[in-house]
């Protein structure tokens, strides 16, 4: 895998960050924002993930992502 790529498919970003593909897809639009973490270039059916945004998300978790995790945890308990 070419780590220097700017955008990767879901399967490749999943392997790169060691997070399950399904989990990534389930959190599109909640934790991960379209236009920041992923894009649908030129009407592609499958998105492309922004490598630098995903590295930033892992290395520098912000309060917004913590709040999203807390909300999701509460929903899953119900």
Q: Specify the pLDDT at position 5.
A: 80
Q: Specify the pLDDT at position 43.
A: 81
CA dist 46 and 10 (Å) reads: 8
**Quick one: pLDDT band at residue 22, thresholds 50, 70, 90?**
very high
What percent of the chain has a predicted confidence (pLDDT) above 90?
55
Number of domains in the chain: 1
Q: Specify the pLDDT at position 72.
A: 65
Q: Answer whether residue 54 is part of any domain.
A: yes
Q: Answer whether residue 1 is part of any domain.
A: no
Give me the residues paired with residue 34 across strands. 38
Q: Specify the pLDDT at position 7.
A: 94
Q: What is the DSSP string of the chain?
A: --TT-SEE-HHHHHHHHT--HHHHHHTBTTTBPBTTTEE-GGG-SS-EEEHHHHHHHHHS--HHHHHHHHHHHHHHH-
Q: Residue 37: which CATH number?
A: 1.10.1660
pTM: 0.72
Q: Answer whether residue 17 is part of any domain.
A: yes
Distances from the Cα of 75 to the Cα of 7, 58, 59, 63, 70, angstroms: 31, 23, 26, 19, 9
When pLDDT is averaged across residues 35-43 and rounded to a whole number, the result is 92
When pLDDT is averaged across residues 56-78 and rounded to a whole number, the result is 67
């Amino acid at each position: 895998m070419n780590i220097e790529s700017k955008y990767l498919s879901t399967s490749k970003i999943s392997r790169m960050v060691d997070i399950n593909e399904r989990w990534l897809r389930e959190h599109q639009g909640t934790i991960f924002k379209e236009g920041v973490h992923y894009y649908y270039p030129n009407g592609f059916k499958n998105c492309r993930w922004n490598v630098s945004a995903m590295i930033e998300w892992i290395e520098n978790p912000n309060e917004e992502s913590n709040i999203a995790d807390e909300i999701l945890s509460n929903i899953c308990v119900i």
